[in-house]
Amino acid sequence: MAGGISIHGVDVARGVAAEGMRVELHALTPERRLLAAGNLGANGQLEHPTVRGEGVSAGPHEVLFHVGDWLRTAGYAEEQTRFLDIVPFRFVVTDPARHLHLPFKFTPYGVSLFLGV
């Protein structure tokens, strides 16, 4: 796949895709602007034209993962939903022709996010 940014969320504590988690993708220059927003699908991925590169250009970007809301609606105990809220992740697109895959793995107490393949 050439170009684009794919976002994928997985609750590793339960071993399930984060279906329904709200995410937002912002470009940060020349000014902050929303590129994509929506809920992750049944496969844990955001379906949006930015996956194919639409609107993606070189420069800094940020994804916001609304993990706290997701944990609350996923049925976690109240004490497990108080630590994480909105988790930001900033990264730089250096080559708009290169596809970036961002796997977001989380539990109620921590996250891991990296450049996947």
pLDDT in the model for residue 92:
97
Per-residue pLDDT of the chain (117 residues; tens, 9 = 90+): 579 999 999 999 999 999 999 999 999 999 999 999 999 999 999 999 999 999 999 999 999 999 999 999 999 999 999 999 999 999 999 999 999 999 999 999 999 999 987
Full-model pTM: 0.95
* 37 occurs within a structural domain: yes
Tokens of 42: 């049944």
CATH code at position 27: 2.60.40.180
Say if 111 falls within a structural domain: no
Considering the domain boundaries, does residue 110 fall inside one? no
Residue 116: the pLDDT is: 87
Range of the domain at 19: 5-102
Contact in structure between 79 and 69 (CB atoms under 8 Å):
no
Question: Would residue 117 count as lying in a domain?
Answer: no
Number of domains observed in the structure of the chain = 1
| Domain assignment present for 38 | yes
Element (H, E) at 86: strand 86-93
